[in-house]
Amino acid sequence: MKGRGRFLVLEGIDGAGTTTQAGYIQQWLEEHGIRAIVTREPSEGPIGATIRQALRGRLRLPVVAGSGELSSETIALLFAADRLDHIEAEIKPALQRGIWVISDRYVQSSIAYQGTLIDLGWVEEINRYSIAADLTLFLRIEAATAMQRIGSSRVQTDIFETRDLLERIAGGYDRYYAGNPEAAVILDGSAPLAEVSAAVCGALAQAFPELRQ
């Protein structure tokens, strides 16, 4: 019988290249004969769609009383709810079928993004039922580099994509990994693309013996 798939996560501040590397990992795994899917958070589900609208500052849904702006606490709860939905709807079913799952962002995004704005302990608490990843790769880049990349590639920017905020979020990740060194493998996301991809493959081969060939 085929075993359970592995659950991989990519983390980083906006512009770190998580989406590019998620696609690369999928292709690399398929070359090793391993079926893999890429998913992302906010997810493709209904709560994920609500979050995407909220992040672009244009949430106009009946759930919002008053101004149409959501508080950071509400957004944190939406991310936590979307995560449980993502786990049940996409991650667990794939893993059970022996398919590897590569998630573009997961719990540590909430820790770094929401945890720097509001009570970190509470953010961790509302994410307590999220299943653990088998491996998390953190693509580390400076906020200044991220701003340059974002500026040159996107027309519309999310509310988190300002330099000051990105610096705080980068600090949130760094503090978290300083206290939890086993939580992720930290890679230099500012290196040329091919080098980052090579480092990603190296980290995967290190973590999973079946990929060393």
Stretch that binds ligand TYD, among 1-9, 59-67, 109-117, 195-203 (CB under 6 A): 109-117
Question: Do the Cβ atoms of 197 and 139 come closer than 8 Å?
Answer: no
State phi, psi for 136 to the nearest 5 degrees.
Answer: -115, 130
User: Shortest distance, CB of residue 118 to ligand TYD, whole angstroms?
Assistant: 11
Residue 24's φ and ψ, nearest 5 degrees, are -65, -45
Q: Which is nearer to ligand TYD, 55 or 170 (CB)?
A: 55
Structural contact between residues 139 and 12, judged by C-beta atoms closer than 8 angstroms: yes
Cβ 85 vs Cβ 14: under 8 Å: no
H/E segment holding residue 135: strand 135-140
Which CB sits closer to ligand TYD, 158 or 174? 158
Question: Does 11 sit near ligand TYD (CB under 6 A)?
Answer: no
The rounded distance, in Å, linking the Cα atoms of 29 and 88 is 23
Determine if 79 is a binding residue for ligand TYD (CB under 6 A).
Answer: yes
Closest CB to ligand TYD among 125 and 210? 125
24 binds ligand TYD (CB under 6 A): no
Q: Site residues (CB under 6 A) for ligand TYD?
A: 14, 41, 55, 79, 105, 109-110, 113-114, 158, 160
